[in-house]
């Protein structure tokens, strides 16, 4: 039999029992739609977070103390950061911005929230690519005089002040009164935390008014030093320069008491994590495809039973074992492929509808790509082929005399 005859015969057989065919299609449609929509959500989340991190700059290094436990002391100081600007030891470094981090309850009028408080220098705005939507950033004068001023993340500003302009207003951080001097543009959540939920204050204010943690040597401790490198090509060289400078300052002869990570490493780690998560979601959704395949096998088994006499007549008229096998395999494959196409359309539509919408408190961003769609269709066709082989083999192996006697 020619391929055209096999396909047309298979379509005619499927069309003879529309309800049964529709129910079998439904399982595949739901499975494929679930795979495409869930993997699109995972891919969209990966792209969104990666874009946000890249917006901070790819030529960044993050220097942090090795001992970061709650009871441990930081080994990094403000002076360590300033030493990284030495043109002889660290010529690849353009700028540095230390930070002192703490947290506390923030109160403004009747509103309150729990926020991360980050003590920074004016260079922090440049190094971390921050932008102020209203007011101004932390100034050198405010750092020197330890002014109790604050620059709010957009989320904190909305929580505490709603639609009012926060600039010029006052709030209390851990019982101390601060004046709002600026509001940051929205940055969203990244692997580095929710940047919109932060409050920035002068680093000296954070240390002397809110934290006051010192190193074992007595210097002003910082939780991290953000370092900007002159170019992405100089990253490896800059890492070596920073490590050498800190080892000399800390007189290290054994293990380092600090770690250096790059923005690029953060992006790579995040990408791997998100890809694993997307595959996990796809695997869960793929279970519904497996169930759909079992449904196809059950329906094909019923079809073989109902068409036993038809199979006997065709064999008596000269139909070969291969012809019967191809007939039923074709029906199962067409069934799953048709359901796969319909499911792909439904999955793409669902992904587009979810894109940018807030569902159960989460803002979904999706990214539909051709490889996801092709993979889902290929898996659907393979499932139809796999689960159609047994019923097809059973039909092909029927003895013509026994098949003709079947009532």
| Tally of CB atoms within 10 A around 328 | 25
* Spatial distance between the Cα atoms of 268 and 98, rounded to a whole number of angstroms: 24
SS3 content of the chain, % helix, strand, coil (to 5): 55, 20, 25
- The span from the CA of 189 to the CA of 49, in Å, is 7
How far apart, in whole angstroms, are the C-alpha atoms of residue 398 and residue 128? 73
What span, in angstroms and rounded, lies between the C-alpha atoms of 391 and 326? 11
Contact of 211 with 162, CB cutoff 8 Å? no
Instruction: Point out the residues of the chain with pLDDT beneath 70.
Output: 1-7, 9-17, 46, 49-58, 67-73, 188-193, 212-219, 266-267, 269-271, 274, 278, 281, 285, 307, 311, 357-364, 399-407
Query: Do residues 42 and 277 lie in contact, with contact meaning Cβ atoms separated by under 8 Å?
Result: yes
Q: Is 121 helix (H, G, I), strand (E, B) or coil?
A: coil
What is the pairing mode between strands 193-194 and 176-184?
A: unpaired
Residues 198 and 11: their CA atoms lie apart, in Å, by: 61
Per-residue 3-state assignment (H helix, E strand, C coil) for 355-398: CCCEECCEECCCCCCHHHHHHHHHHHHHHHHHHHHHHHHHHHCC
State pTM to two decimals.
0.61
DSSP string across 145-173: TT--EEEE-HHHHHHHHTTS--TT-EEEE
Which pair of tokens denotes residue 317? Answer: 């008229």
Please name the residues in contact with 108: beta carbons below 8 A apart, sequence gap of 6 or more.
160, 161, 166, 169, 170, 171, 172
- How many Cβ atoms from other residues are within 10 Å of residue 345's Cβ? 15
Residue 179's closest CA among 166, 160, 195, 162? 166
394 to each of 175, 303, 323, 324, 329, how far by Cα in Å? 79, 11, 13, 10, 11
């Amino acid at each position: 039999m020619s391929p055209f005859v096999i396909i047309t015969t298979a379509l005619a057989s499927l069309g003879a029992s529309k309800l049964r065919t529709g129910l079998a299609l439904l399982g595949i449609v739901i499975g494929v739609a679930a795979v495409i929509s869930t993997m699109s959500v995972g891919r969209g989340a990966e792209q969104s977070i990666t874009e946000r991190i890249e917006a901070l700059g790819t030529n960044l290094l993050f220097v942090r103390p090795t001992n970061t436990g709650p009871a441990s002391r930081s080994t990094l100081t403000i002076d360590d950061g300033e030493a990284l600007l030495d043109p002889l030891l660290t010529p690849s470094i353009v700028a540095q911005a230390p930070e002192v981090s703490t947290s506390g309850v923030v109160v403004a009028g009747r509103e309150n929230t729990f926020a991360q408080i980050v003590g920074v220098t004016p260079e922090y705005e440049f190094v971390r690519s921050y932008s102020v939507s209203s007011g101004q950033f932390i100034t050198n004068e405010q750092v020197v005089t330890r002014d109790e001023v604050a620059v709010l993340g957009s989320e904190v500003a909305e929580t505490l002040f709603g639609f009012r302009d926060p600039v010029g207003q006052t709030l209390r951080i851990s019982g101390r009164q601060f004046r709002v001097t600026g509001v940051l543009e929205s940055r969203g959540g990244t692997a580095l935390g929710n940047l919109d939920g932060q409050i920035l204050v002068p680093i000296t204010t954070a240390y002397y008014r809110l934290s006051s943690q010192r190193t074992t040597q007595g210097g002003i401790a910082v939780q991290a030093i953000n370092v900007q490198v002159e170019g992405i090509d100089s990253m490896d060289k800059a890492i070596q320069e920073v490590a050498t400078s800190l080892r000399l300052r800390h007189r290290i002869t054994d293990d380092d008491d600090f770690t250096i990570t790059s923005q690029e490493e953060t992006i790579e780690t995040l990408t791997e994590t998100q890809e694993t998560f997307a595959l996990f979601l796809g695997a869960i959704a793929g279970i519904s495809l497996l169930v759909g395949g079992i449904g196809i096998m059950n329906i094909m088994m019923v079809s073989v039973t109902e068409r036993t006499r038809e199979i006997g007549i065709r064999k008596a008229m000269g139909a070969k074992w291969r012809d019967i096998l191809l007939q039923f395999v074709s029906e199962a494959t067409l069934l799953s492929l048709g359901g796969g196409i319909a499911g792909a359309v439904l999955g793409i539509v669902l992904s587009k509808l979810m894109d940018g919408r807030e569902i159960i408190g989460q803002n979904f961003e999706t990214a539909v790509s051709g490889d996801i769609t092709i993979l889902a269709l290929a898996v659907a066709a393979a499932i139809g082929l796999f689960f159609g082989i047994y019923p097809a083999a059973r039909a092909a192996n029927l003895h013509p005399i026994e098949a003709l006697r079947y009532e």
